[in-house]
Amino acid sequence: GESVGLHLPTLSVQEGDNSIINCAYSNSASDYFIWYKQESGKGPQFIIDIRSNMDKRQGQRVTVLLNKTVKHLSLQIAATQPGDSAVYFCAETGGSNYKLTFGKGTLLTVNP
Amino acid sequence: SAVISQKPSRDICQRGTSLTIQCQVDSQVTMMFWYRQQPGQSLTLIATANQGSEATYESGFVIDKFPISRPNLTFSTLTVSNMSPEDSSIYLCSVEQATSVYEQFFGPGTRLTVL
């Protein structure tokens, strides 16, 4: 069936480095994508989103890239900080469907 | 953004019993969602709860096991019935954000352990 998945389950970076978290999706009808951050013991927190008619969107220290040709989504975090340590999920929902389909998650660890 | 609280934050229960989880929002919302997050796993949607109608369940989830109430626009409950150890998970409620039907805000979750 259709699914949203991640290439890397864990990522360890040094403080100050840039981080890139990847996500592959298989539903070609997906038209809206979201990145969530989940810290230990908390619910997912919205980071940034992107629609399928865009290939790049920037926020504060974060950038999401969308490559519809290969159905790939990435989250770039600039100057990674210890507070960025968390599990990051990509999610998608398409059309008039309000349901979110979540990817598997990547654990980001930032070393001081 | 909406502020969402859940009760209890965690519980340890015996198999065969039931637990009701409450989700309270500080503003009126149309759509509320219940998710399950098994240990070390991603989130899976259980059901969508709209006020004034029966909840809509996803494949693999049934009302007898996970009855849901939605008495008003700020509150919902999820009951995990006749629990087994396989029900040990984090249960999360979420609500849609008023300015975007796709943006969902999540509660802190309820960590359930079934012995």
B106 vs A28: which has the higher pLDDT? B106
B25 reaches A (C-beta below 8 A): no
Of A43, A49, A101, the CB nearest to B109: A43
Q: Are B66 and B47 in contact (CB under 8 A)?
A: yes
Query: pLDDT grade, residue B40 (50/70/90)?
Result: confident
Query: pLDDT grade, residue B52 (50/70/90)?
Result: confident
B1 vs B52: which has the higher pLDDT? B52
> Above 90 in pLDDT, residue A96?
no
Of B41, B94, B103, the CB nearest to A49: B103
Q: Do B43 and A49 touch (CB under 8 A)?
A: no
B106 reaches A (C-beta below 8 A): yes
Q: How many CB pairs lie under 8 A apart between chains A and B?
A: 50
Element (H, E) at B115: none
Q: Are A20 and A7 in contact (CB under 8 A)?
A: no
For chain A, the helix, strand and coil percentages under 3-state DSSP, each to the nearest 5: 5, 50, 45
- Which residues, including other chains, have CB under 8 Å from residue B4's CB and lie 6 or more apart? A43, B23, B24, B25, B26, B93, B94, B95, B105, B106, B107, B108
Average pLDDT over residues A78-86: 97
Element (H, E) at A90: strand A86-92
B78 vs B80: CA distance, rounded Å: 7
> Above 70 in pLDDT, residue B44?
yes
Average pLDDT over residues A29-46: 91
Q: Which of B21, B38, B45, B104 to mutate to test the interface with A (most CBs of A within 10 A)?
A: B104
Q: Do A98 and B105 touch (CB under 8 A)?
A: no
A55 reaches B (C-beta below 8 A): no
Average pLDDT over residues A31-58: 93
A45 vs B104: which has the higher pLDDT? A45
Mean pLDDT of chain B: 92
Of A43, A103, A104, the CB nearest to B107: A43
> Above 60 in pLDDT, residue A6?
no
Dump pLDDT digits (tens) for A14-28: 999 999 999 998 788
> Above 60 in pLDDT, residue B8?
yes
Dump pLDDT digits (tens) for B74-97: 999 999 999 999 999 999 999 987
Q: Are B56 and B68 in contact (CB under 8 A)?
A: no
The residue of chain B nearest to residue A103, with distances taken between CA atoms, is B42
Amino acid A104: pLDDT: 87
Of A46, A101, A104, the CB nearest to B105: A46
For chain B, the helix, strand and coil percentages under 3-state DSSP, each to the nearest 5: 5, 55, 40
Average pLDDT over residues B54-64: 94
Element (H, E) at B1: none
Query: Of A77, A55, A74, whose CA–CA distance to A8 is shortest?
Result: A74
Dump pLDDT digits (tens) for B11-33: 999 999 999 999 999 999 888 99
Amino acid B49: pLDDT: 93
What whole-number percentage of chain B has pLDDT above 90?
80
